[in-house]
Amino acid sequence: MPGHVFLCVLELLLVRFLLWEFGAEGLTVKRLMAALDGIKLVLVRTPEGWPRLVLERMDGLSAGVFTKFRLGGFLSKW
């Protein structure tokens, strides 16, 4: 049980930090979570047979979160 409480508090701190870092007025925890949930990666096979990560379409808020937190840098490693 104490481990669960620790993880919940850690998640709350992380989400609050992300809200502060994003700096958008009026952005709520619920909207931030929905924006993060809207970022989808798909593993596809190239014609040569190699795997490649590709982003699916996302709404404007999800794209803004993706850009602001520089998540594209993780894709370039694949």
SS3 call for 45 = strand
pLDDT of residue 78: 58
Element (H, E) at 41: strand 41-45
- Predicted confidence (pLDDT) per residue in 62-73, tens digit: 998 899 888 888
- Predicted confidence (pLDDT) per residue in 37-53, tens digit: 999 989 999 999 998 88
> Tokens 């699916």 identify what position?
56
Give the Cα separation of 50 and 57 in Å (integer). 22
Nearest to 43 by CA among 2, 6, 14, 78: 78
Give the Cα separation of 34 and 40 in Å (integer). 12
